[in-house]
Amino acid sequence: MMASGRSMLLTVSGAGCGAHPAAWRVGGAPRAPSLAWFRKLTLQAERAGLDAILFGSSPWGPAVAASGQAGTFELDAMPLIAALAADGEQIGLGASVPVDHAEPFNIARSFAGADRLTAGRTAWIADVREKTYRPGDFAHAEARDVSARYARALECISVVRKLWDSWEDEAIVLDKPAGLFTDPARVHRITHRGEYFSVRGPLNAPRPLQGHPVIVQSDHSREGLALAAVTADVFLATVTAPDQLAGLRDALGARPLLLATIVPLLARTQAEADTRAAVLDGMVTGPLAAALLADAGRTGEAPQLAWSLGGIPFIGTPAALAARLADLFAGGLCDGFHIAPAVLPLDLELFATDVIPELRARSLRPAVAVGRTLREHLHLPRPRSQFAA
Partner 1 sequence: MTGRQLHLGVFIYPGGHHIAAWRHPAMQAQRITELGYYRECAQIAERGKFDMFFVGDALNAREREGRVMGQVAINNLDPVSIVSAIASVTERIGLVATLSTTYHEPFSIASKFATLDHLSGGRAGWNVVTTSDDKSALNFSRTHAMDKALRYERAAAFVDVVTGLWDSWDDGAVVGDAATGQFLDPASIHAVDHSSPFFAVAGPAMMPRPPQGWPVLVQAGGSPPGRDFAARIGEAIFTAQGELPEAQAFRSDIHARMAARGRSANSVKIMPGLSPMLGDTEAAAQRRAEEFAELVDPAVGVWMLTEMTKFRLYDHPLDQPLPTADIRASSPALNRNATTLVERAEREALTLRDAARIMVRSRVHQSFVGTPEQLAGHMSHWLEAGGCDGFNILPPLFPDDLATFVDQVVPVLQRLGVFRREYSGSTLRDHLGLPRPKGRSINTAGL
The footprint of partner 1 on residues 84-103 (CB under 8 A) is 84-87, 101-103
CA distances from 121 to 88, 215, 282, 375 (A): 10, 12, 39, 8
Q: Which stretch binds partner 1 (CB under 8 A): 72-80, 231-239, 249-257, 329-337?
A: 72-80
The residue among 87 and 223 lying less far from partner 1, judged by its C-beta, is 87
User: What is the three-class DSSP state of 135?
Assistant: helix
337 is a site residue for partner 1 (CB under 8 A) = no
Distance, in Å, from the CA atom of 194 to the CA atom of 90, rounded to the nearest integer, reads 37
Amino acid occupying residue 351: F
Question: In the complex with partner 1, which residue's Cβ is closer, 138 or 246?
Answer: 138
Distance in Å, CB of 102 to partner 1, minimum: 7
**Size of interface with partner 1, in residues (CB under 8 A):** 76
Query: Is the Cβ of residue 65 or residue 251 nearer to partner 1 in the bound state?
Result: 65
Tell me: does residue 112 bind partner 1 (CB under 8 A).
yes
Which member of 4, 47, 62, 68 binds partner 1 (CB under 8 A)? 68
**Out of 138, 170, 278, 386, which residue is the one contacting partner 1 (CB under 8 A)?**
138
Count, residues in the chain = 389
- Could you give the CA distance from residue 358 to residue 18 in angstroms, rounded to a whole number? 23
* Angstrom distance (rounded) from CA 46 to CA 63: 35
Among 40, 63, 129, 183, binds partner 1 (CB under 8 A): 183
Question: 1 or 174: whose CB is closer to partner 1?
Answer: 174
Q: Does 123 bind partner 1 (CB under 8 A)?
A: no
The dihedrals phi and psi of 117, each to the nearest 5 degrees, come to: -65, -25
Q: Cβ 31 to partner 1, closest distance in Å?
A: 4
How many Å is the maximal CA-CA distance in the chain?
Answer: 74
Helix (H) or strand (E) holding 246: helix 244-252
Q: What pairs with residue 198 in β-bridges? A: 193
- Residues within window 201-260 making contact with partner 1, judged by CB under 8 A: 201-206
